[in-house]
Structure 1
Amino acid sequence: MGNMHDVLIAGALLAVVSGVMNGLFTLPMRFLGRWSWENVWTVFIGGACLLLPAVLVGITAPQSYRLLLEAPGRAVGIALATGFAWGFGAIMFGQSVSAIGIALANTFVLAISSALGALLPMLLLTPARIYERSGQMVLLGVAIEICGIALCGRAGLLRERAAVNQKEQRGDLVGKARPLAVALLLVIGSGLLSAVFNVGFALSQPIAAFGQMHGLSEFASTNLIWILMLGGGAVSNLGFCAFLLMKNRTVWKFVQPGGARLYGFGLIMAVLWGGSIFVYGLATPKLGALGPSIGWPLSLATGLLVANVVGLLLGEWKGTSRGALRVMFSGIGVLVIAISVLSRANQ
Structure 2
Amino acid sequence: MNAVFGVLFHFIGGFASGSFYVPYKKVKGWSWETMWILGGLFSWIIIPPVAAMLTIPNFMDIIKGSSNSIIGYTFLFGLLWGIGGLTYGLGVRYLGVSLGSSIILGLSMVFGSLMPSIYYFIYPTTGKHGIDYFFTSNAGLCILLGLALCVLGVYLCGKAGVSKERHLASFSKTGSSDYNFGLGITVAIISGILSACFNFGIEAGKPMADVANVLWKANHPEQGEFLYQNNVTYIVILWGGFTTNFLWCLYLLLKNKTFSEYTKKEVPKMRNLLLCALAGTTWYLQFFFYGMGESRLGNGASSWILHMAFIILISNAWGILLKEWKGVDRVTHRSIIAGIITIILSICVVGFAKTLEN
TM class, shorter-length:
0.7 to 0.9
Partner of 1:3: none
Deviations 1:267-317 (CA, angstroms, capped at 9, x unpaired): 2211111011011112112114xx331112112211211111212233333
2:231 corresponding residue in structure 1: 223
Tell me if the contact between 1:110 and 1:300 (Cα under 8 Å) persists in the aligned partners.
yes
- Distance in 2 between the 1:145 and 1:207 partners? 31
Q: Residue 162 of structure 2 corresponds to which residue in structure 1?
A: 157
Separation in 2 of the partners of 1:95 and 1:251? 23
Note closer, same or farther for the CA distance 1:98–1:260 as it changes in structure 2 (3 Å cut). Answer: farther
Cα distance change of structure 1 residues 133 and 124 upon mapping to structure 2, 3 Å threshold: farther
> Which of 302, 312, 335 in structure 1 is aligned with 2:320?
312
5 Å-filtered alignment, 1:123-272, equals 123-125=118-120, 126-127=129-130, 128-130=132-134, 131-163=136-168, 178-179=178-179, 181=181, 184-215=185-216, 218-256=226-264, 257-272=267-282
Q: Which residue of 1 aligns with 2:336?
A: 328
Aligned to 1:296: 304
Is residue 115 from structure 1 mapped to residue 110 from structure 2 by the alignment? yes
- CA 1:311–1:20: 2 relative to 1, 3 Å: same
- Asked whether the 8 Å contact 2:228–2:291 carries over to 1, the reply is no
Look at both structures and tell me which one has the larger radius of gyration over its CA atoms: 2
Q: How far off its partner does 1:32 sit? A: 3.3
Of 44-53 and 156-165, deviating more is 156-165
Compute the displacement of 1:248 (Å).
0.7
Q: Distance in 2 between matches of 1:110 and 1:276?
A: 15
Cα deviation, residue 334, structure 1: 1.9
Secondary structure of 1:69 counterpart? helix
Q: Deviations over 1:148-171 (max 9, x none)?
A: 22222222221221135999xxxx
**Contact in 1 for aligned 2:96/2:179 (Cα 8 Å):** no
Which range moves more in the overlay, 145-154 or 50-59? Answer: 145-154
Residue 198 of structure 1 and its aligned partner are, at CA, apart by 0.8
Q: 2:28 and 2:161 mapped to 1: Cα distance? A: 23
Relative to structure 1, the CA distance from residue 35 to residue 180 in structure 2 (aligned partners, 3 Å threshold; closer, same or farther) is: farther
Counterpart residue number, 2:9:
14
Give the residue type in structure 2 aligned to 1:179.
Y
SS of match in other structure, 2:304 = helix
Partner of 2:284: 274
CA drift at 1:100: 7.3
Residues 192-214 of structure 1: CA deviation (Å, up to 9, x unaligned): 21211112212321221123344
Q: Name the counterpart of 1:24.
A: 19
Pairwise mapping of residues 22-61 of structure 1 onto structure 2 (< 5 A)? 22-32=17-27, 34-61=29-56
Query: TM-score scaled to structure 1, two decimals?
Result: 0.86
Which amino acid letter does the alignment assign opposite residue 321 of structure 2? L
In the aligned structure 2, how far is the partner of 1:26 from the partner of 1:107?
17
User: Whole-Å Cα distance in 1 between the matches of residues 280 and 92 of structure 2?
Assistant: 16
Q: How many residues align?
A: 332
- In the alignment, does 2:295 pair up with 1:285? yes
Deviation of the 1:243 alpha carbon: 0.4
Aligned-residue offset at 1:102 = 6.5
1:137·1:342 contact (CA, 8 Å) conserved in 2? yes
Give, in angstroms, the shift of residue 335 of structure 1: 1.6
Corresponding residue SS for 2:302: helix
| Cα pair distance change 1:226/1:267, threshold 3 Å | same
Q: TM-score, normalised by structure 2?
A: 0.83
Deviations 1:186-243 (A, max 9, x none): 4433322121111221232122112334458824532121010011110001110000
The percentage of aligned residue pairs carrying the same residue is: 27
Q: Distance in 1 between matches of 2:309 and 2:145?
A: 15
Distance 2:328 2:241 in 1: 37
1:77 aligns with 2:72: yes
**Relative to structure 2, which stretch is displaced further, 187-196 or 92-101?**
92-101
CA RMSD of aligned residues (A): 2.7
CA contact (8 A) 1:44 1:269 kept: yes
Distance 1:53 1:111, change over 3 A: same
Q: State the Cα distance separating 1:95 from its structure 2 match.
A: 5.1
- What is the SS of the residue equivalent to 1:319? coil
Change in 2 beyond 3 A, CA 1:334/1:8: closer
Using a 3 Å threshold, how does the CA distance of structure 1 residues 12 and 251 change in structure 2: closer, same or farther?
same
